[in-house]
Amino acid sequence: MTTSRLGDYLRSRRAQVTPADVGMPQEGQRRVPGLRREEVAILARISVDYYLRLEQGRERRPSPQVLDALSDALLLDGDGRLYLYRIAGITPLPRTEGTIERPDLQLLAMTDLWDRTPALILGRAYDVLAANALGRALFGHLQPGANLLHAIFLEPSSRSFYADWDAAAASTVAGFRFLEGARPHDPRIQELLRSVMEASNELADLWQRRDARSKTHAVKVLIHPDVGELTLRLHAFDVRSAPGQQLIVYHAEEGSRSADALRMLGYLAATDTERRDTSHRRTS
């Protein structure tokens, strides 16, 4: 009997999933420790013959849709699904289309400990999913629930917030096109692009340039209404626990005026929070 890495992996995963795990009745004496082949085929909605050929190595290039169905049938987590795709020799399809995005709570808790480092968590369409305290203080126009593309082109305050608005706008559009290329049918991405483009000729012109570039690192000059100009280094990281999301971190050179401005901004934000908490306690 022929075999393959894909077939071996499917067989081993099948042995570790019981009928009870997937809500199937367990009737009579079973000769296999996990699911039968026909049960996996039923769960994945493929033919038993096709699944048998996968396990035996006679079929080595299943479609992404089949791999997704097998991932669900075998209860694979994110890493297991990624490994399944890798040994099948194809790139995973994004699985976030049409879903509600939520930030990783452990990641958010970690960023809340950074009192000198503003941080934002962006979703697959540049929605601001979360920000730490300093991030909320720095980006008044990008509070959680806002959208970066919308804010850049339709929020008047962004024009004065970015020292070089033209460069910031071009970079945002290039990044958004990069995201759109990975998820061309995502309804949130398409709806946002349509609505902002209808309201902004500048976005329409930049979109026609077809620049595509992911966020990695850059130097940003920002002008905050309370602490003035800040020169910050931006670093972007993919969030592995939530594919499609990005952690955006800003850092000021130690000892610089920008570092002092960030500390002042943190102090002002903490003072404002304390004042509001005190006022709330008095009125409640």
**Mean per-residue pLDDT for 66-84?**
89
And the tokens for 123? 């979703």
Contacts of 128 (CB under 8 A, 6+ apart): 120, 121, 122, 139, 142, 143, 144, 145, 146, 147, 148
Q: How confident is the model at residue 65 (pLDDT cuts 50, 70, 90)?
A: confident
Q: Quick check: 206 pLDDT over 60?
A: yes
Rounded CA separation 231/252 (Å)? 7
* Cα–Cα separations (whole angstroms), residue 66 to 51, 57, 102, 246: 10, 15, 27, 28
Ordered domains of the chain (ranges, CATH): 5-88 (1.10.260.40), 105-283 (3.30.450.180)
- Specify the pTM: 0.71
pLDDT given at position 269? 85
Contacts of 162 (CB under 8 A, 6+ apart): 168, 220, 221, 222, 223
Rounded CA separation 44/65 (Å)? 10
Rounded CA separation 59/223 (Å)? 58
Rounded CA separation 73/22 (Å)? 8
Rounded CA separation 217/236 (Å)? 6
Rounded CA separation 130/150 (Å)? 16
Q: Quick check: 161 pLDDT over 80?
A: yes
pLDDT given at position 166? 97
Residue type at 274? E
pLDDT tens readout for residues 218-273: 999 999 999 999 999 999 999 887 878 999 999 999 999 999 999 999 999 888 76
